[in-house]
Chain A
Amino acid sequence: MDQFLLIALNGLTLGAVYFLVASGLTLIFGLMRVITMAHGTSYLLGGYLGYVVARETGNWFLGALGGAVAVGILGLLIHQLLIRRFQDDDMRVALITLGVSLIGTDLMLATFGGTATQVPLPPELQIGLELPGIGQYPLIRLLILAVSIAVGVGLWLFVNRTRFGSIVRAGVDDSQMTSATGINVRVVFALIFVLGSALAGFAGVVGGTLFPLLPGQDGTYLLFSLVVVIVGGMGSIPGAAIGAALVGLISQFSLVFAPTYSLVLTFALMVVVLAFRPQGILGRRTATA
C-alpha cells in the first residue's frame, strides 16, 4: 500500500511538471489553434536561462522570473515576425516553428554544451518531509505540485472568469465578429502567445530544477505536452491537468511494472482516448456534424 501511494505521488508530481509545460501549449495550440512546434525549445531555453540567472544571482526566484520573461519576449518576437502573417495557414506555421525549434536546439547545444545541467536549488529546500503512509518524501516535489496547482487554478480563472478571458474565447470562435465590436484581436492573440511562451519558459526552470537540462529534452517535452493537450481536450485547462496526471501516473507505474514499455504505454493512452473520445477527455465537441 505504501508502495502504491508513493508511486502515485511520484506520478502526480511528475504530472505537475508536464502540466506546467502543457498549460502554455493548451493556450497557444488548444485555444488559439496555432500549431507551435517550438514549445519544447521554449521549455529548454527557459530552463537554461533560469539556470544562468539562478547561478549568477544565487536566487532561484530571479531565475524563474528571468526564464519566463525572456522566453515570453522571444515568443512575442516569433509571433510578430514569423507567425502572424500566416496565422490561418496551419501547415506553414507548423513548419516555421519546426524550423525555429531546430535552429534553437543547435544554438543551445553550441552555447550550453551537451552535458546535463540543473538549476541550483537552495539547500534548505533539498530536504525530505515526513508524510503519513509514505515516509520521507522530497519537499521540492511537493512544492512543484503546489505551484502547478496554483498556476492551473489561476489560468482557469483567467480564461473562464475574466473579461480578457472571454475576449480571447470570443476572438478564437469568431475573430471577425470580435473585431467588429471594437476589440483589437491581434493584440489579444499576441498577448496569449506571450503568456503561453512565458509559461513554457517558467516550466523549463521548474522542470530543470528537478530533472537535468540537456539537448533532446526539448523534443521530449514537446511530445509529452502534445499528448497531454490532445488527451485532455484542446483548450481545456482542467483537461490538461487530467491529461498531465494520467501521463505522469502511467509513466511512473509502468517504470515499476513494465519498464520496457513505459513510453509505449504513454502513447497507447493517447490512442485509446482518441479512439473513444476524439475531442479529448474534456474537449468540446465541434458543433457542426
Chain B
Amino acid sequence: MTLNTKRTAFAAASAGAGLVLLLAGCAPAGTGGDSGGDSGDGGSDTIKIGVLATSEGNLAFGMGEAKAAIGVAMEARGGTVDGGEVGGKKVEFVYEGTDGTSGSAQTKVKKLVENDGVDIVFGPVSGDEGEAVVQYALTTPDITFVNGSASPVSMTLEGAENFFRFHGDSAMWMGGLGDYAYNDKGYKKIYSIAEDYSFPYDNAGGFFSEFCAAGGEVNGNSWVPVGTTDYATILSQIPADTDAVYVGLGGADAASFLSQAVTAGVNKPLVGGSIAVDTTALSGDANIGQAAIGTITGGPVPGADYDNPDWKTFVDAYATQPDAFPSPSIFSILYYNSFESLLLGIEDVKGDLGDGQADLRSALEATSWDSPTGPISMDENRQAVVDNFLVEVAAGDGGALTLTDVSEANGVKQGTTVYDRFDGCP
C-alpha cells in the first residue's frame, strides 16, 4: 500500500514536472486571444491581423508595449486596440503571447495562421523568435508578415518576399557607438557581458567591429544564458584593468545585472547594448542609478531632449495608454513605427488584399513617411532605412534616470555581415 502510493506519487510528480517543462517551452499565455477570433468574419470585408508579442519571461512587458503601440495608431483612426476601420475595411486583431523563445513563437504563429486564419501577422518581439517567424514566412507565401521588434541582421537576408521590417537591425543600432567609445570616451579595453542568443550577437558584433577597427581591444567575453538572475560570479570575472564593460543584456536581466553591480561595488563605466538601459530597466524599482548613470548606448530610441514634433505627439499619445512606462520603450517605438507603416500601406490600397496581397506588398515596399523617430524608407530586401541615435543615461528631475541625446545618424542602411557568437573582436 505504502509502496504503491509512493510509486504513483513519483509518477505524478514526473508527469507534473514534464508539464511544467512543456509549458516553459510553449506556454498558453493567457493575455493573448482576448479579441477577434469569431469564425463568422465577413471574408473580404474584414482584415484580420494576428499580433505576436512576449507576455512571459524576461521581456514579459512586450505584449503591453505592443498593445500601447497599436492603441496609439488605431485611436488616431477612431478605432481601439481591439479593432476599427482602416482604408474602408474592418480591421480586427488576434493577440497571442509568447515567452520569447523560438519554440513558442513557432507554435503561436502557426496557431494564428492555421487556426485563426489571419491575413497578416504582426510581430514578434525577440531575435530568436524573429528568425523562427521568417522561416515560417518562407513556407506561407499567401500571408504578409510585418516584423514587430525582432532585429537579427539575417532576417531580411533570407529572401522571404512576404516579410517586411520597418526598423533597423541590431548591428545598425550600434552604428557610431564604437568610434564614440574609443575616440571620445577614451575606452581602450572593454570587457563584454552579453546574453547568448542571436540579438546580442549582432548587437555586440556591430559595436565591437567598429570599436576594434578604431583600435580598441576586447579583454574578455562572458556569454550568459538568457534569464540569468545571479550575476555575482560574472561580476567577479571583470578584469581590474578594463576601461569599461559592455552590457548586452535586456529587460529583467539588465535590471538584475545593474542592481547587483551596485551591491558588488563595480565602478567601471558601462557601454549598453540597445536594450540594456532602456526605459523598462530605468523605470524599475531596483536601485541601479549609481551603475547606470553615464552609460552610453545606441539604438532607435532618441533621448528625452530629441527635438521633433512628431516624436512629441507620439510620446503624448503613448502616455495615455494603459500600463504605459514613463517614456516609450524601444519595443513600443518599433511596434508603432512598424504598425503605422502597415496601416499606411493598407490605406494606400484601400484595404484590397486581393491577388495574393500583391498590391499591399507593393505599397509596403514603397513605404516612405516621417515617423516619430525620423524618415523611414525601404531597401530592396524590404528592410527599412532609418535614423539612429547615440544616447547617454543621466540623472533627470527628482533623481529619475533619463536618456539624453549625444548624436544622431540619418539614413542608416543595413550591412551584410551576419554575426555569430565571438571571442575577442568579432
Which residues of A come within 8 Å of B, CB atoms?
3, 6-7, 10, 13-14, 29, 33, 35, 37, 51, 55, 88, 90-91, 93-94, 97-98, 102, 105-106, 109-110, 113-118, 120-121, 126, 128, 136, 138, 140-141, 173, 210-212, 214-217, 219-220, 222-223, 226, 230, 251-252, 255-256, 259-260, 262-263, 286-288
Contacts and interface: CB of A to CB of B under 8 A. Distances in A.
B60 interface: yes
Contacts of A136: 264-265
B61 A113 contact: yes
B31 A37 contact: no
A88 B2 contact: no
B225 A219 contact: no
Contact of B2 (A51, A117, A286): A286
Contacts of B29: 106
Interface string B61-83: 11110000000000000000000
A259 B61 contact: no
Interface of A is mostly: helix
Nearest to B224: A259
B264 A215 contact: no
B16 A37 contact: yes
Interface stretch (B3-11, B105-113, B302-310): B3-11
B286 A118 contact: yes
Contacts of B236: 3, 6-7, 10
Contacts of A288: 2-3
The 5 A-B residue pairs with the shortest CB-CB distance, nearest first, are A114-B60, A114-B61, A116-B252, A90-B12, A106-B30
A128 B264 contact: yes
A13 to B, nearest CB: 8
B338 interface: no
Contacts of B297: none
Given A109-B56, A216-B99, 17 more contacts: A6-B233, A7-B236, A10-B230, A10-B236, A33-B6, A97-B16, A106-B30, A114-B54, A117-B284, A117-B286, A126-B263, A216-B60, A223-B17, A252-B233, A255-B230, A259-B223, A287-B3
B157 interface: no
Nearest to A267: B21
Interface stretch (B254-262, B312-320, B396-404): B254-262
A141 B19 CA distance: 33
22 contacts: A3-B236, A10-B232, A33-B6, A35-B16, A37-B19, A37-B20, A93-B12, A106-B29, A114-B54, A114-B55, A115-B255, A116-B284, A116-B286, A117-B286, A118-B286, A120-B287, A138-B232, A138-B264, A211-B230, A252-B232, A260-B223, A262-B225
B222 interface: yes
A226 B280 CA distance: 32
Contact of A260 (B54, B55, B196, B264): B196
Interface of B: 2-3, 5-6, 8-9, 11-13, 15-17, 19-21, 23-24, 28-31, 54-64, 99, 196, 222-225, 227-230, 232-234, 236-237, 251-252, 255-256, 259-260, 262-265, 280, 283-287, 323, 325
A263 B226 CA distance: 11
Contacts of A262: 225
A88 B4 CA distance: 11
A141 B323 contact: no
Contact of B6 (A106, A114, A219, A286): A286
B399 to A, nearest CB: 14
B102 to A, nearest CB: 16
Contacts of B58: 116, 214, 216
Contacts of B5: 33, 88, 90
A255 B286 contact: no
A138 B263 contact: yes
Contacts of A116: 58, 251-252, 255-256, 284, 286
A286 B9 CA distance: 13
Contacts of B57: 215-216
B228 A91 contact: no
Contact of B287 (A91, A106, A115, A126): A126
A128 B265 contact: yes
A217 B57 CA distance: 8
Centre residue among B28, B62, B233, B283 by max chain A CB count within 10 A? B233
A32 to B, nearest CB: 10
Centre residue among A90, A117, A222 by max chain B CB count within 10 A? A90
Contacts of A141: 232
A215 B56 contact: yes
A109 B5 CA distance: 36
A88 B236 CA distance: 49
Contacts of A260: 196, 223, 225
B24 A263 contact: no
A201 B126 CA distance: 31
Nearest to A93: B12
Given A223-B20, A288-B2, A33 B230 contact: no
